[in-house]
Amino acid sequence: MRRIDQDPTNVPCPNFAGAAYTAIRQIMSNNGQINNEQAVEQLTTAWNQTHMQEVKAWNQQVQADLEAQQEQIRLAQEDETRCQEEEECLKEDERKEQEKRKPKINDFDKARMVADHVMPCPSHSDVLALAQSQKPGQARPKKAGPNHLAFVGFWPGLHFFKAQARA
């Protein structure tokens, strides 16, 4: 269907009784079946029918344009909503990633009492120095099992153990 460029609802009916339409009226009345007034009436009726069809087509075109515009708005809103959801998902993923990178802190228990003494924790180098400085007469196991601790040395009040490497 061709596009209607002008609104036909405001177009007035032409004056078919006027001088501009005299030639058409004479052609219509030449055969003698209708007079000049009947020719004007037939022309007006034909124009009104054509005009009503044009107005109907115009209204359908306006309705189709309105529906197309509403569809475009709906699609734009869906796109905007989808973009916002994707952006929120990206932000949520980024937040989760940052949460994974944060060092984990153990839960704080208000009901638990703090110990009044600290257990000494010797450094690895101290443990190795003690193991190397043992006297040959002291008992020392030659090999321990894969998940066992080997006795390394003795200090008055403290025992040092060393985990054996798995074979």
Mean pLDDT over 88-102 rounds to 91
Q: How far apart are CA 106 and CA 149, in angstroms?
A: 28
End-to-end, the C-alpha distance of the chain in Å comes to 87
Q: What is the residue-wise DSSP string for 147-159?
A: T-EEEEEEETTEE
Place of tokens 């002291």: 138
Q: What percent of the chain has pLDDT over 90?
A: 42
To the question of pTM greater than 0.95 for the whole model, the response is: no
Residue 1 in tokens: 């269907």
Q: What's the confidence (pLDDT) of residue 135?
A: 58
pLDDT tens sequence across 49-86: 999 999 999 999 999 999 999 999 999 999 999 999 99
Residue 139 in tokens: 């008992």
Reduce the DSSP state of residue 132 to 3 states and report it. Answer: helix
pLDDT tens sequence across 103-141: 777 777 788 887 788 877 888 888 888 777 765 555 554
